Amino acid sequence: GYDLDKRAIQILRENSWGDYTLPTKGLYPYQWNWDSMFVALGFSEIDLDRAWTEVESLFQGQWKNGMAAHIVFRRDSPSYFPGPKVWGGTHDVPTSGCSQPPVAATIVRDLYEKNPEIGKQRLPELFPRLMRWHRWFHTMRVISGGSAIAVTHPWESGRDNSPDWDDALADVDPTGVTPYQRKDLGHVDAAMRPTNAEYDRYIKLVEYGRDCGWDHTQITREGPFAVADPGITFILMRADRDLQALAKYLDKESAVHEIDTWLYRDQIAASYLWNDEINAYSARNLRTGQHADGVSSVGFLSYYGGITKPKRDAKLQKTLSRILDAAPYSVPSFDPQHPKFDSRRYWRGPTWAIVNYLIARGLEEYGFEEKATRIRLDTRKVIQESGFFEYFDPMTGEGSGGNHFTWTAAIWLAWAS
Ligand code: DGY
């Protein structure tokens, strides 16, 4: 306990650059959206004021259309590709051109409830920004008639190379992509990262967005890639409810009503994502309707998102038990019994502390305490054995990706220790 607590605090402080925090030096030398929010949660254990500042600084990268960007480029760093120039100068503060899973409102509610006196001072400024961001998702990332939230770049999901995108990504034609040099492989073993074929398509999608002036209506409706993501869909559902609680604290009645119209569509979105073939929620290619055919850990975020359907849940619990039994260090990001499982390769198998935290939080709220505890103890064990890595091999527990990783340290402080 004590030494790891100390080390976790040190990692937060070392990666903190004034009012924002790097995910890890070298590999990710800027401010990332959801990283930053987990970091705020970690800071709330030791320095609540700094936690609020982390959230506020993220929203300096918010666009006029409401989007909170996935990367805020604070200062030029040659250790990263693709930097601000590739994204094409999109905002007063340079940012990337897509978003990331919206955990912010949930974390802000946590911060508020930790100390409502401080919360009352900090929330009024942030609240309208959170509203605008959620509204952006509900208008810009929903295909008409649907309700599940689309990602238009694998980077938007935060789960870059998940098998969830394979089918849709295969339809992205990488021909003519501007020659580039990857930087990530200078920091991390190639076996733990996306492939070059995937990278060509990631960059091609960035170029498409840049060339259409980041017109997100066009990108979502007609762009080369749009997949309904159970991760973002469930995370946003949860965040909508938390945002509504915040609206009530501030007596913002019209916001409460607007959020009701978002919540109204949750059941439809969940039904759209349910996949009877694999007894789990799974991603769907919005251009073809095709479901991903494997179980990703984010499919278990339905509880966190506030969705329960007794018949479906009975099947989902069986699937979760099977997955937990298949990996000694739960929860693998992808089904270990699926042919595409790769225990070291980023989002194709490895276990992530942040996702574990979200899954367990939902399970616990719905009374699945045994599984929630198992996931928490596994998270504690893997950090104790391997350290504060970006992700972990679910079979051996071996630390993978970047080391001294801020969000893993944050989850340790807030939950796993
Ligand atoms: C990267 O560069 O690998 C990041 O995941 C993009 O967000």
Closest atom of ligand 1 relative to the 82 alpha carbon: 2
Q: Annotated catalytic sites, by residue?
A: 160, 390
Query: What is the per-residue pLDDT for 145?
Result: 67
Half-sphere exposure of residue 357: CA atoms within 13 angstroms, side-chain side: 22
Could you tell which of 79, 81, 86, 160 is best to mutate to test the pocket of ligand 1, judged by most ligand atoms within 8 Å of the CB?
160
Closest atom of ligand 1 relative to the 202 alpha carbon: 6
Q: Tell me the H-state helices in 160-229.
A: 166-170, 196-211, 216-222
Closest atom of ligand 1 relative to the 80 alpha carbon: 2
Query: What is the per-residue pLDDT for 53?
Result: 98
Residue ranges of the chain with per-residue pLDDT less than 70: 1, 90, 145
- Would you say the CB of residue 156 lies under 6 angstroms from ligand 1? no
Residue 82 CA to ligand 1 center (angstroms) comes to: 9
Residue 371 CA to ligand 1 center (angstroms) comes to: 30
For 316-357, the pLDDT digits (tens) are 999 999 999 999 999 999 999 999 999 999 999 999 999 999
Q: Which residue, judged by its Cα, is nearest atom 4 of ligand 1? A: 155
In whole angstroms, what is the distance from residue 237 CA to residue 110 CA? 16
Q: What percent of the chain has pLDDT over 70?
A: 99
C-alpha pair distances (Å), 292 with each of 68, 230, 281, 296 = 27, 11, 9, 9
Which residue, 116, 74, 187, 110, is CA-closest to 410? Answer: 110
Query: What is the per-residue pLDDT for 400?
Result: 97
| Cβ-contact 330, 324 below 8 angstroms | yes
Could you tell which of 28, 71, 354 is best to mutate to test the pocket of ligand 1, judged by most ligand atoms within 8 Å of the CB?
28
Which residue, 284, 403, 341, is CA-closest to 11? Answer: 403
Reply yes or no: is the peptide bond before residue 382 cis, omega within 30 of 0.
Answer: no
- Would you say the CB of residue 160 lies under 6 angstroms from ligand 1? yes
Q: Tell me the H-state helices in 305-368.
A: 310-326, 353-365
Domains and CATH numbers, the chain: 2-416 (1.50.10.10)
Which residue, 70, 334, 347, is CA-closest to 193? Answer: 347
For 37-91, the pLDDT digits (tens) are 999 999 999 999 999 999 999 999 999 999 999 999 988 788 899 999 999 976 7
This complex has an ipTM of 0.90
- Would you say the CB of residue 240 lies under 6 angstroms from ligand 1? no
Q: pTM value?
A: 0.98
Query: What is the per-residue pLDDT for 217?
Result: 96
Residue 121 CA to ligand 1 center (angstroms) comes to: 34
Q: Which residue, judged by its Cα, is nearest atom 7 of ligand 1? A: 155
CA dihedral sign of residues 385, 386, 391, 395 = negative
Q: Residue 38 carries which side chain, given as an amino acid letter? A: F
- Would you say the CB of residue 184 lies under 6 angstroms from ligand 1? yes
